[in-house]
Each structure stands twice: as C-alpha cells, then as structure tokens.
Chain A
Amino acid sequence: MHTNLAAQINSFLAAMVLLTAFGMLVQRRMYGLIHLFAWQGLFLSISTAIVGFVAGAHHLYISSILTLSLKVILLPYILHVLIQRLKIHKEVETIVNVPMTMLIGIALVIFSYHLTAPVRELSTLMTRSTLAVALATVMLGLLMMITRKHAVTQIIGFLAMENGLFFAATSATYGMPLVVELGVALDILIAAFIFGIFFFHIHKTFDSLDVDQMARLKEGD
C-alpha cells in the first residue's frame, strides 16, 4: 500500500514535470519561463526525495537537495538577475505555429513511450513508468531549443533537457552514483557562468538576444 501510494504520487509529479515542459514550449514571457523552469525543478526535487524515502536509497536525498538548491533556487535566480541586468524582462517572444509545436510535442511523448518500452519491461523499480516521461522531457527541451530563437529561451530549453536527464537517472536506476551526480551538477554550474557571460557578449555585439541575427557563418557558395 505504502509503495503503491508513493508510486502514484511519483506518477503525479512526473505528470507535472511533463506539463511544465509543455508549458515552457509555448510560454512567451521571460519571467513566466523562468518560473515554469523553477516549478519543474521543484517537482523533480520532491519526486526524488519520495523515491529516496520509499526505496531506501538515501543518496537520493543529496540529489534532491542538490536539485532544489541548483535548479529551483540558484539557476532561476541567476537567470532573473541576468535578464534584469540586460533589460529584457519585458520582452515577449513571438512563437510561430503553436498548435504544430504542440502536436510535435505530443508525438515526441508517444515516441518516448515506444522507445523506452524494452527498459520498462526489464525494470522492477517502482519508478519504471516515469522513464518515458523523463525521455519526453529531454525531447521537449530539445524541441524548445530548435523552435525558439531567443538565447535565454534556448538556455532554458537546455536546462530543461538536463532536468529530464536527471529524472531519467532517478526513474531508471534510482539515480546515478553520487560522484557522477556531483560532477554533472558542477558542469551545470560552470555552464551557467558561461552562458551568463555569453548573454552579455551577444547582447553587446548584436544588440539583441535573438540568435536569428547570428547568421554570418553560413556555408559559402
């Protein structure tokens, strides 16, 4: 009963993660995006803690705290500060063809379920059903990076992908070994500094963060 309930809560949280991923796909406002990203991190963190508690995998508590501090507090804060400094917090991105993007997103979710079917069959963990959601989150992050043209949005898409990967590790194997989790977190932290620097460079050079303006390096003909 206990495990069953936990599995249900976990599935609910997985659904919320997926929902935020879809939300980000079509969110036009910068603040809205960052908030959605923070929510996604929060659901992830709670889910990790629950899995850690039920499965008795105590190293997951550390992962959960890591997610909470990095993806719910630190990264959204950094992004907040950055877009305020760059004075782009009021920018509204135009997104073309929302219905089409949504449809592709749904197709990606189905595809993820199909792709992870062999893993689900082999797994005995209570979290096995959420692996497909994790892969879908990765794919939706990727889709977001492709469809959106704003540098900040692309970075949020990238971080959402990272969320999906972390979720995948929790669902498939109750988390990667701690040394790997910590290393990945460190890499994300370094990446955060780098994209922060990048935003300023791009903004200064191109006077906007629209990456469509960067089209100098086309193949010569």
Chain B
Amino acid sequence: MPLLILLSVPLFAAIVLAFIGDRKYAPEINILGSAATFAAGISLALEVYAEGPMLAGGKFFFVDAFNVYLAVLTSFVSMTTAIFSRRYMRKERQDGHVGPIRMRFYHAMFQLFIFAMLLCLLTNNVGVLWIAMELATLSTVLLVSLYRTPSAIEAAWKYFILCGVGIALALFGTVLLYFAAEKVLGAGGEALLWTNLSQVSGKLEPTVLSLAFVFLMVGYGTKVGLVPVHNWLPDAHSEGPTPISAVLSGLLLNVALYALVRCKVLVDGSTGTHHAGDIMMGFGLLSIIVAAFSLLRQKDIKRMFAYSSIEHMGIATFAFGLGGPIATFGALLHMLVHSLTKSSIFFTVGHASQMHWTQEMDRIKGLIKGNPLVGWGLMFGVMAIVGMPPFGVFTSEFLILTATMKDAPFLTPFLLLGFAVAFAALFRRVQPMVTGPVPSYQRPLKAAHIPVMLHMALVLVIGIYMPDFLNRWFHTAVELLK
C-alpha cells in the first residue's frame, strides 16, 4: 500500500500543479506533495525493513533493500529541493527570468520527474525501467531550457539528443536480454522481471548477455554521465534552473547507476566471470581522471560542480565494478552521501549566483560576510565533497580506497591522483569565493536555510557515526549484489 501511495502522490501532484499553475501557493503545494511522497517512502522502507523484500502489484513492483534506500533518498532530496525551490524560483520570477506559464510547467514537470525516477527504481520489469528512464529524460529536457536563452536551448538540445541516442542503445541491450531470457523463461512479460531473471541468471546464454551488457553500459552510462559519453551533463547542469541541477546531479545519476548495477549483477551471474565489472571499472576510472582534470579549467560555478558529479559517479561506478563486500558497501554509501552533499552544494551555489547576478566564479566573492549561511554552507559542502573527514564522503571514499588496495592495488595511484586533483581544483576555486570583503554588486538575499542544514547535518552524522539501521540495510543490499 505505501508503494502505491509513493508512486501515485507525485503523479497526482503533477496533475494538480498543472491546474494550479502560477497561483501564489503553488510552491507550497509542490512541497506538500514531495513531503507526502517522502512520508510514503519512509513507511515503505519500514515495511521492507521489518519484513524483507517484497513483490507487489502482481509482480509488477519489486522492493528490496537496494532500491528502497534509493527511493527514500529520492523522495527526501526531492522534498528538500522543493523547499529550496520555493525561495529560489520566487527570486528568479522577480528577476524576470521566468514567466507564469513556465512556472506552471516547471512545477508540474518537477513532480513528473520524481514520479519517473521512483518508477525506475521500484519496477520489477526491465522494459518498464527503460520506459521510465526515458520519461525521466523527457520530463527534464524542457526544464533545462526553461530560461530560453540560446545556451539553455543548446544545452537542452544536446541533452535530448545524446540521452536519446544513449537510451536507444540501452533498449537494444534490453531486447538482447529479453532474447536470452525468453529461451529460459518463455515468452511474455514474465521473462523481463528482475526477480525471475536473477533466479535463472546462471542459465542465461553468456555470449548474448555479454553483448547486451555492452549496449546497456553505453546506454545507461550516458545517463550516469560517464566519460566518454558525459558531454550533455555539464551543459544541462549549468544552464538549467538550479533546483533542477540539484535533482539531476543528486538523483537522476543515481537512478541510472542503479539500473546499470542491476544489469551488471545479472550479466556477471550469467557469464560466471567478472567482465561486466571490469567494464564498469574502466569507465569509472576514466571518468574520475578526466573529470578531475576538467575541474581545473572551469569558470562557471555550476559547470564545475557538474564535473565533480561526473567524478563521483565515476567513483561509485568503479567501486560497484570492483565488487566485493567492502567496495559495494562503499559504493552504496557513496551514492547516498554524494547525493546529499551535491544537492546541498547546488542549493548554496544557486543562492550565491543569485546574489551576484552571475555564475562566473571570478565575480563571486565575500560570501561568508555577505550571507553566512550561503558562505559556510558552500565551504562545508566543498569540504565534504572533496572527502575531508569527518564528513560521510570521507568514509565511503576510504572504504573504496581500501578495497582497491586489496583487490586491484595497481589502480590505487590513479584513484588517488583523481582525488588529489579534484581536491586541489575545488579548494583553489572555492576559497576566494567564500572569503574576502563583500563586493559592491552583491545583493542581500533571503536564502533557504533548512535544506542546506538538513543535508549537511545528515552527511556529518553518517560520517561520524553510522546509524545501526543504515549499516544493516547496506549489508543486506551488499548481500543482494553479490
């Protein structure tokens, strides 16, 4: 039952918001809808926590420790983003960047996007997963171009075309997967269910599955933002409205990675080798290195953090590819803390660029003096994201590093190089932005406090003391992904 509520609330909210349009209370309805989604997510998680994995809706939905934690994360971040978006978008509206029609569209599409991601996570059907993933792209394409500037339209077009092509290749992979599954499970919808597939993974034809994985990897990898198919990501993040950058970075990338990990477990289970994992490690490592060095060259603040997202997705992909209990645990944790930290960073970045009328880092100065919450929020966010203790990212990166030293020691230097370069690049840029005197063109701003503080507090708590339930949860998920 909570599952049904979890999925229907955002869909219903999307319709309601489409009707409400630009009325004064639309942002509040948006928050309310997301909060209800979050509550449903929590109760679903409690149910799964108490009773273990479950099927629902005639095997159409499937919930286990792995996807329910991502569903809770998705609903939580969408709630905080909705809170942030209330003040942020109001300001954008006052500044004349968006009009009433586009605000209506923005709110409705935001909820539809949340629905698409939750459907991706909770469906048991590989085909429906694909459809929901495409829906997630389609619902955000026009949000990226919301401001209708030439660069925003260009970014959205790139996003549309590249992700369209990527996802098309993933569909070919899905067809091949169905081909292999049909031989064992018979034709019909049953052959595309994760639960059925994982039971018979040993009997699936390995050659076909290896071929399928190549297509799935490139396809879903495009959405994860892995190098070399990452080109859409920095553009879409820098040109879209900041709340959308926050949910793209914090949530969509995770959801795509989720799909990839499920495929990897299946394929490696079938072939009995570690090929799929190796491919993921390669893509992951390349993403870490390329993104870390790209960080050095950035001038636009949102673009820089977009590259940082590529780096962190690379880390998680690498760790899932590496496999083994420690690396998988680290990767799961990393998805969680990265999502919380990065969306919090985007919240502060959004306010910072509103205060200075620009996204150019050279023009952003004196944040701590101008607005302590935004300044310190950005400072702590960056400290967390580069992996400084005691924040949660440190824990996950440490775990991944340990596992690498044990299982693939020759790759450790590359990993460390990526971490170090990213550390240097981000700090070099952030320090001048937060310190120093307030420039004359800065304007005061009412920032959204709650989301940033909530996210940073969570990342800090996870870093210092991992709650027992989270620990057990991740262990169950690690067992599933073996």
Q: Do A and B come from one complex?
A: yes
Q: Is B153 touching A220 in the complex (CB atoms < 8 A)? A: no
Q: Is B178 touching A173 in the complex (CB atoms < 8 A)? A: yes
B155 — which chain A residues lie within 8 A by C-beta? 217
A135 CB within 8 Å of chain B = yes
Cα distance, A106 to B161, chains bound together (Å): 24
Q: Is A179 touching B205 in the complex (CB atoms < 8 A)? A: no
A211 — which chain B residues lie within 8 A by C-beta? 157
B77 CB within 8 Å of chain A = no
B-contact 0/1 string along A130-156, CB 8 Å cutoff: 000001001000100100000100100
B444 CB within 8 Å of chain A = no
A123 — which chain B residues lie within 8 A by C-beta? 179
Cα distance, A11 to B110, chains bound together (Å): 45
Comparing B138-146, B241-249, B375-383, the segment that makes contact with chain A is B138-146
Number of A-B contacts (CB under 8 A): 136
Q: Is B178 touching A217 in the complex (CB atoms < 8 A)? A: no
Q: Is A195 touching B131 in the complex (CB atoms < 8 A)? A: no
Q: If A180-B128, A206-B150 touch, does A165 touch B299 (CB 8 Å cutoff)? A: no
B130 — which chain A residues lie within 8 A by C-beta? 180, 183-184
A9 CB within 8 Å of chain B = no
Query: Which residues of B in the span 149-179 have a Cβ within 8 Å of any Cβ on A?
Result: 149-151, 153-158, 160-161, 164-165, 168-169, 171-172, 174-176, 178-179
B228 CB within 8 Å of chain A = no
Q: Is A221 touching B297 in the complex (CB atoms < 8 A)? A: yes
Q: Is A158 touching B157 in the complex (CB atoms < 8 A)? A: no
Q: How far is the CB of B300 from chain A (nearest CB, A)?
A: 8
B20 CB within 8 Å of chain A = no
Question: Which listed residue (A115, A162, A176, A198) contacts B175, Cβ 8 A?
Answer: A176
Closest 6 CB pairs of A and B: A180-B127, A183-B131, A214-B154, A177-B189, A118-B207, A172-B179
B-contact 0/1 string along A157-177, CB 8 Å cutoff: 010011001001100111011
Q: How far is the CB of A31 from chain B (nearest CB, A)?
A: 23
Comparing B180-188, B264-272, B351-359, B434-442, the segment that makes contact with chain A is B180-188
Query: Which residues of A in the span 167-221 have a Cβ within 8 Å of any Cβ on B?
Result: 168-169, 172-174, 176-180, 183-184, 186-187, 190-191, 194-195, 197-198, 201-202, 205-206, 211, 214-217, 219-221
Q: Report which residue of A119, A168, A214, A217 has the largest number of chain B beta carbons within 10 angstroms of its beta carbon.
A: A217
**How many residues in B have their beta carbons less than 8 Å from beta carbons of A?**
53
A96 CB within 8 Å of chain B = no
Q: Report which residue of B169, B175, B179, B187 has the largest number of chain A beta carbons within 10 angstroms of its beta carbon.
A: B175
B294 — which chain A residues lie within 8 A by C-beta? 219
A-contact 0/1 string along B182-199, CB 8 Å cutoff: 110001110110000000
Q: Is A165 touching B175 in the complex (CB atoms < 8 A)? A: yes
**How many residues in A have their beta carbons less than 8 Å from beta carbons of B?**
48
Name the residue of chain B whose CB is nearest to the CB of A191: B138
Q: If A173-B175, A197-B142 touch, does A217 touch B182 (CB 8 Å cutoff)? A: no
A122 CB within 8 Å of chain B = yes
Q: Is A198 touching B151 in the complex (CB atoms < 8 A)? A: no
Cα distance, A161 to B211, chains bound together (Å): 18
Q: Is A214 touching B211 in the complex (CB atoms < 8 A)? A: no
Q: Is A179 touching B135 in the complex (CB atoms < 8 A)? A: no
Q: Is A194 touching B172 in the complex (CB atoms < 8 A)? A: no
